[in-house]
Structure 1
């Protein structure tokens, strides 16, 4: 949402008259002054360029696109929707990869008989208790219902 607001404001700046102060500040560069000591804050133009790339808007021609207000708003809105959908899919994939193999790997390396229930031998700061593969599968199916 912040990305959309930033890009809509940038489009507004492009369409402003040249004599307006916000546009002059946006296109002007600081010629005097010292930079702060330590890590530098990211300038607005750098975050703007990053946002344009994330929303798949060409950084070389974005100002021409922003001249047409309706086309600019449409491209920002569709780019944001695509970016958000991709972000959600990536997060779900990452979450699924983090949840399923780790649980199976943790218990598959434990020695034990498959027909014998596991006894809890969990000690603080020690290894996790070993369980049979059927217990691990049962726990995985129980946990999968909690996070959906």
Structure 2
């Protein structure tokens, strides 16, 4: 993410006649991208990354014009994005642990006669019982 923001700032500071800047700001004249979830391009990622880092699109060009402030802004934004990602991973992990430890209350539960393990479905019990066979 840090490298993408550095490259984005570099492209924004380029003269308008340079090819990378033309590609970033250009639009497709003829044709269209394929439907149903087209593949992400670098151009698409360069538009998403500043939003994740808390850099607002209207202030993007003004911020990138000054290299030292852009470097500090991008480093701070990457740290904030990384903290948010870690929080989301931790919350997801805690939800997963709660779901595993919570007893199954809805629907019929199937109990293994050998070890007493409870399975949510009959096929799950059948699959589990295969571990007891030797």
Fold match (TM-score > 0.5): yes
Q: Secondary structure at the match of 1:125?
A: helix
In 2, Cα distance between equivalents of 1:18 and 1:125: 61
In 2, Cα distance between equivalents of 1:36 and 1:83: 29
Between 37-46 and 18-27, report the one with greater CA deviation.
37-46
In 1, Cα distance between equivalents of 2:114 and 2:19: 73
Could you report, residue by residue, the CA deviation over 1:79-127 in whole angstroms, capped at 9, with x for unpaired residues?
A: 11111112112211221221135323249xx8xxxxxxx9614597328
| Structure 1 gaps, min length 5 | 111-117, 129-148
Aligned residues: 117
Would the alpha carbon gap of residues 87 and 57 (structure 1) be closer, same or farther in structure 2, given more than 3 Å must change?
same
1:77 counterpart residue number: 75
Q: CA deviation at 1:58?
A: 0.9
1:92 counterpart residue number: 90
Q: CA deviation at 1:37?
A: 4.1
Q: CA deviation at 1:21?
A: 2.1
Relative to the length of structure 1, the TM-score reads 0.63
Larger radius of gyration: 1
Would the alpha carbon gap of residues 93 and 25 (structure 1) be closer, same or farther in structure 2, given more than 3 Å must change?
closer
Q: Secondary structure at the match of 2:98?
A: helix
2:115 counterpart residue number: 120
1:34 aligned onto 2:31: yes
In 1, Cα distance between equivalents of 2:6 and 2:63: 12
Summarize the alignment of residues 132-147 of structure 1 with structure 2, pairs less than 5 Å apart: none
Q: CA deviation at 1:36?
A: 4.6
